Structures are given as structure tokens and as C-alpha cells.
Amino acid sequence: MQLQYRILVINPGSTSTKIGVFDDNICIFEKTIRHETKEIARFDHIIDQYDFRKQVILEQLDHEGINVSKFHAICARGGLLRPIEGGTYKVNDTMLHDLRIGYNGEHASNLGGIIAHEIASGLNIPAYIVDPVVVDELDEIARFSGVPEIPRKSIFHALNQKAVARKAAKDMGRSYEDMRLIVTHMGGGITVGAHQNGRVVDVNNGLHGDGPFSPERAGTVPAGDLVALCFSGQYYRDEVMKKLVGNGGLMAYLQTNDARDVEEKIASGDQEARLVYEAMAYQIAKEIGSMSAVLSGKVDAIVLTGGLAYGKTFIDMISTHIDWIADILVYPGEDELQALAEGALRVLRDEEIPKVYPRTDGKELTI
Ligand SMILES: Nc1ncnc2c1ncn2[C@@H]1O[C@H](COP(=O)(O)OP(=O)(O)O)[C@@H](O)[C@H]1O
Ligand SMILES: CCCC(=O)OP(=O)(O)O
């Protein structure tokens, strides 16, 4: 079959920018550009990283001798938009506005649609996003927090959780829509989702909500103590937010968000590093246990994925707590670039109509 479409895919994460070039669904180039903490720390806000991240992408393509004028479409990971259903969305003005203001908060994925649009408009080709971090399929019961003004939100690694869940189902010879899975993405942020018959019915808000602490996030924090900290007069709002997102978790305890550094410290006998790493694994296991209750204990498999899943020691630390629940499948890294390319391809091939942001049916989800 003749190849038809060349697609650039862009995935900005909190600790890296990943890019890929696909000829139809075949990846011809991919690169993970890791960003040192100090490189990112000089920007006060995520949106300020726009030029830096765009330049990094264009330089990398230039370095590889990839001619941008040959692209037919650009597809990026979508950010903190209004809650929407999964699928491929064409970048439009409302979306750009919401990404720029960070409608639901700040995260590197907000830059995806903006950078894709900027490069695509210069080439007169379409820009898309697929399964953004705000995909919302929560059961109504999962939205209660105990404070009516603060409903729980669905903010998670939707793109990779869905892609890897489908891969796991395929590897088990089953259909994703017929399965009950607990999928745990462990990257800069960590999210644990209960997937029931193709829907993520409960998941922790891995950005500034709840769940385990992560390489750079605090996760659930004792609420009363957090309120006291906020009103202590010692911190500005942005400083408290930084403690929760960016400088929380491993960063706060060990001054690094790189799990490989932590593994090296542990290997050289650092007991404090071991304890912190074990605590992160313990909190992940607790969240998985909680999602097994969501699925009434009927769990077909637990899927572990994301950058941290490369760490064998770390996987062992989690597994000892949860291997009684169900079989554990490990897919290190992520399948997001492929999922982005395939999302764009379905639309380019007219197999799917791109969705219109915010909603096609006028019924906006509440948050
Ligand atoms: N080979 C590895 N062994 C252990 N940890 C790793 C490895 N590769 C990446 N990581 C860790 O995974 C985390 C980043 O995961 P990733 O999914 O790439 O994050 P994001 O997309 O959120 O930037 C970092 O803490 C990084 O150190
Ligand atoms: C929870 C939103 C997605 C997220 O945390 O992504 P990273 O791990 O790439 O920061």
C-alpha cells in the first residue's frame, strides 16, 4: 500500500518533550528530549516555556534533516481544557484561548496544541489534539469530595492510559471494552485509573488533586494542614502551588525529579533515598488497592506504565503490596506518540470526523 500522510506528533510532558514523525502509522523518527530541572525552573509559568519548547522541537527536526514542509498534519497531546469526551479534536480558537489561560490549571501539555497550531498554520496544514488530560468518563459517584464546591476532577494521562489499556487487552486476547483494568501511569505525575468496560470510571487528579506523590508532585496532602500553610502568611499562592506541582514529591524530599538519580543513590547505599522511593511505591500501591474496591475486586489485570516503570526495583516495591489483587502487566514508557499519530490518521483518512471543542452537542460537562 502506498504511504499517504506524514504526521508530526508532539508530546510535551513535565520533564520532557517527546516528538515523532510518522508516515501513516509507521514511526520513522522519535526522540525524547529530557529537560533538566534548572532548565525549566527559570520559567515562572508553563506558558512562558512556549518559545523554548517550540525551538527545541524545530532544532531537533532540523538536526535530523527532516523537512517540515512535507508534513500533512501536526498532532499534539492536549492540555487542561474544559472536561471533554475522548477523541481527536481540531485545534480551534476557543481551544487556543483555553490552553493559553490554562482553563483547568497549568501543565506542559497546554503547550502541545499551541505549538502544533503555530507550526501547522505556517504550513497551511491542520493541527489536532487527541485524548487530552481532561478526558472525563467518571461515574457520578466518583465526583464527590465531601465539599460540594470542590467536586473531584478527571485530570490524568488519558492518552497513554487508554492506549496501553488497549494494548494490554490485545495481549490478553480480549477486547478493552469487555475488561476491568487498573491502569497506573507513572511519569512526572502519577495517575491510577479504574477502567471498566472501556470507560475510566474513577481516577485520581494527578496534577493538583489527589493520589500518590510523584517525581514532582505532592498528591494528596492532609487538608487541614494545607489550609494552615496557605494562611500562615509565609507564602504567596504561586509558592504553595509550586510545593504541590513542580517542587513536590521526589523533588521536595530528594531535590531531583529523575528516578534514575534516586536509583543510583539507593544503589550506593543512601537509606533516605530508599525510604522516599519506597514511600512513593507504597502510596501507588494504596491507590491501586482503592481502585480495586471501585471495581468490586473483579480486576482482570493491573497495568503499570510510564517512565518509572523502567525501574525494576521500583516495580518490585509496588508489586509486593498488590500482587494478590490480579496479574501485573508492565509496559515501560508510553505509547502516546503512536496514539497521537493514529488519532490524526483516522481523521485524515476520513474514518472519523474530528470533534469540535468544547462540545459538539452543546452540553458542556460541569466541573
Ligand atoms: N530507565 C529508567 N529507569 C528509571 N526511571 C526512569 C527511566 N527512564 C525514565 N525514568 C523516570 O521516569 C520519569 C519520567 O517519566 P515520563 O513518563 O517520561 O514523564 P513525563 O512524560 O511526565 O515527562 C522520570 O522520573 C524519569 O527519571
Ligand atoms: C495529570 C496530567 C498528566 C500528567 O501529569 O502528565 P506528566 O506526567 O507528563 O506531567
Which residue CA neighbors atom 8 of ligand 1 most closely? 307
User: Does residue 365 carry a pLDDT above 70?
Assistant: no
Best residue for ligand 2 mutational test, from 191, 217, 334 (most atoms within 8 Å of Cβ): 191
Instruction: List domains and CATH numbers for the chain.
Output: 6-135+337-356 (3.30.420.40), 158-333 (3.30.420.40)
Give ipTM to 2 decimals.
0.97
Per-residue model confidence as pLDDT tens digits over 112-140: 999 999 999 999 999 999 999 999 999 99
Measured from the CB, is residue 187 less than 6 Å from ligand 1? Answer: yes
What's the gap in Å between 186 CA and the centre of ligand 2? Answer: 9
Q: How far is CA 147 from CA 30, 150, 181, 279, 358, in A?
A: 44, 5, 29, 28, 27
What is 340-355 written as a DSSP string? HHHHHHHHHTTSSPPB
Measured from the CB, is residue 111 less than 6 Å from ligand 2? Answer: no
Per-residue model confidence as pLDDT tens digits over 327-350: 999 999 988 999 999 999 999 999
Best residue for ligand 1 mutational test, from 19, 191, 213, 310 (most atoms within 8 Å of Cβ): 310
- The answer to whether 305 and 195 have CB atoms below 8 angstroms apart is no
Q: How many angstroms separate the CA atoms of 191 and 17, rounded?
A: 19
What is 195-215 written as a DSSP string? EETTEEEEE--TTTTSSS--S
C-alpha cell at 50: 512556549
Measured from the CB, is residue 112 less than 6 Å from ligand 1? Answer: no
What's the gap in Å between 361 CA and the centre of ligand 1? Answer: 38
Smallest-distance ligand from the CA of 263: 1
Measured from the CB, is residue 257 less than 6 Å from ligand 1? Answer: yes
Smallest-distance ligand from the CA of 15: 1
Measured from the CB, is residue 157 less than 6 Å from ligand 2? Answer: yes
Q: What is the pLDDT of residue 366?
A: 45
Mean pLDDT of 50-60: 95
Measured from the CB, is residue 312 less than 6 Å from ligand 1? Answer: no
Pick from 306, 340, 303: nearest CA to 325:
303
Nearest-Å Rg of the Cα atoms of the chain is 20
- 205 CA: nearest ligand 2 atom: 1
Per-residue model confidence as pLDDT tens digits over 66-77: 999 999 999 999
Q: What is the pLDDT of residue 39?
A: 85
Q: What is the pLDDT of residue 264?
A: 96
Per-residue model confidence as pLDDT tens digits over 188-227: 999 999 999 999 999 999 999 999 999 999 999 999 999 9
Measured from the CB, is residue 191 less than 6 Å from ligand 2? Answer: yes
Q: b/e for 51-75, b at 16 or more Cβ within 10 A?
A: ebbbebbeeebeeeebebeebbbbb
Pick from 269, 275, 278: nearest CA to 311:
278
Sign of CA dihedral 226, 228, 231, 234: negative
Q: What does DSSP assign to residue 140?
A: G
Q: 360 falls in which pLDDT band (50, 70, 90)?
A: low
Q: What is the pLDDT of residue 367?
A: 42
Measured from the CB, is residue 153 less than 6 Å from ligand 2? Answer: no
Smallest-distance ligand from the CA of 251: 1
Best residue for ligand 2 mutational test, from 154, 157, 186, 280 (most atoms within 8 Å of Cβ): 157
Which residue CA neighbors atom 2 of ligand 1 most closely? 310
Measured from the CB, is residue 311 less than 6 Å from ligand 1? Answer: yes
